[in-house]
Structure 1
Amino acid sequence: MFTSPDGLCGIGELAERAGVSVKTVRFYSDQGLLPEASRSAGGHRRYGPEALDRLRLIRSLRALGLPVREVHRVIDEGEAGAGSVLEDAVAGQLRELGSELRALRWREAGLRLVQECPPGDRADRLRLIGAVAAPPSTAPLARFWRAWLPPRMPAGATAAFLQAAVPEPPVDPEPAQVLAFARLNAFVTRPCTGAERPQPEAHKGAGARASAVLYAGLAQAYELAGTPLRRGRAPCPGEELDSFVDAYASSYGSRDTPAFRRLLVGQLAVDPRIDHYWDLVAEVITPSGGPPEPTPGSAHDWLFTALDAQTTAAA
Structure 2
Amino acid sequence: MDDDGLLTIGALARRTGLTVKTIRYYSDTGLVPSTDRTAAGYRRYDAEALARLELVCTLRELGLGLDAVRRVLEREESLAEVARAHADALDLQIRTLRRRRAVLRTVAARGTDPEETALMHRLLRLSAEERRQLIEEFLDDTFGTADANPELVALLRSTVPDLPEDPSTDQVTAWVELAELTRDRDFRAAVRRMAAYQAEQRAKGDTTGLHHELTERVRESVAAALAAGTAPDTPAAAAVVADLTARYAEVFDRPDDAALRGWILRRLDVAADPRAEHYWRLLARINGWPAPPELAPVFAWFTAALRAAR
TM over 0.5: yes
**3-state SS, counterpart of residue 294 of structure 1:** coil
Matches within 5 A, 1:117-156: 125-133=113-121, 136-137=124-125, 139=131, 141-142=134-135, 143-151=137-145
Matches within 5 A, 1:237-252: none
Q: Hey, what's the Cα distance between the residues in 1 that align with 2:156 and 2:189? A: 23
2:102 is aligned to 105
Residue 100 of structure 2 aligns with an amino acid whose one-letter code is A
Choose from 4, 22, 25 the match for 1:24: 22
Distance of aligned partners of 1:79 and 1:88 in 2 relative to their CA distance in 1, 3 Å threshold: closer
Question: Structure 1 unaligned runs (5+)?
Answer: 115-121, 208-212, 246-254
Q: Hey, what's the Cα distance between the residues in 2 that align with 1:277 and 1:128? A: 23
- CA root-mean-square deviation: 5.7
**3-state SS, counterpart of residue 110 of structure 1:** helix
Percent pairwise identity: 21
Q: Per-residue CA shift, 1:212-253, capped at 9, x if unaligned?
A: x96xx58xx49x96xx89xx9669x9xxx9xxx9xxxxxxxx
Q: CA deviation at 1:258?
A: 3.6
Q: Hey, what's the Cα distance between the residues in 1 that align with 2:253 and 2:304? A: 16
Max Rg structure: 2
Distance of aligned partners of 1:308 and 1:24 in 2 relative to their CA distance in 1, 3 Å threshold: farther
Q: Per-residue CA shift, 1:162-207, capped at 9, x if unaligned?
A: 4525363683423x55444434333334566975663422564599
Residue 54 of structure 2 aligns with an amino acid whose one-letter code is R
1:248 is aligned to none
1:257 is aligned to 253
Residue 106 of structure 2 aligns with an amino acid whose one-letter code is A
Q: Hey, what's the Cα distance between the residues in 2 that align with 1:159 and 1:39? A: 73
2:229 is aligned to none
Q: Hey, what's the Cα distance between the residues in 2 that align with 1:4 and 1:62? A: 28
2:47 is aligned to 49
Q: CA deviation at 1:304?
A: 6.8
Q: CA deviation at 1:133?
A: 0.8
Q: Hey, what's the Cα distance between the residues in 2 that align with 1:11 and 1:159? A: 69
Question: Structure 2 unaligned runs (5+)?
Answer: 203-207, 226-239
Q: Hey, what's the Cα distance between the residues in 2 that align with 1:77 and 1:158? A: 55
- Is 1:268 paired with 2:267? yes
Equivalent residues of 2:187, 2:275 under 8 A apart:
no
Distance of aligned partners of 1:171 and 1:55 in 2 relative to their CA distance in 1, 3 Å threshold: same
* TM-score for the superposition, normalised by structure 2: 0.57
Residue 52 of structure 2 aligns with an amino acid whose one-letter code is R
Choose from 158, 161, 166 the match for 1:171: 166
Residue 166 of structure 2 aligns with an amino acid whose one-letter code is V
Distance of aligned partners of 1:189 and 1:310 in 2 relative to their CA distance in 1, 3 Å threshold: closer
1:186 is aligned to 180
Residue 121 of structure 2 aligns with an amino acid whose one-letter code is A
Distance of aligned partners of 1:178 and 1:87 in 2 relative to their CA distance in 1, 3 Å threshold: closer
Distance of aligned partners of 1:280 and 1:306 in 2 relative to their CA distance in 1, 3 Å threshold: same
Q: Hey, what's the Cα distance between the residues in 1 that align with 2:200 and 2:101? A: 47
Q: CA deviation at 1:20?
A: 1.5
* TM-score for the superposition, normalised by structure 1: 0.56
1:198 is aligned to 192
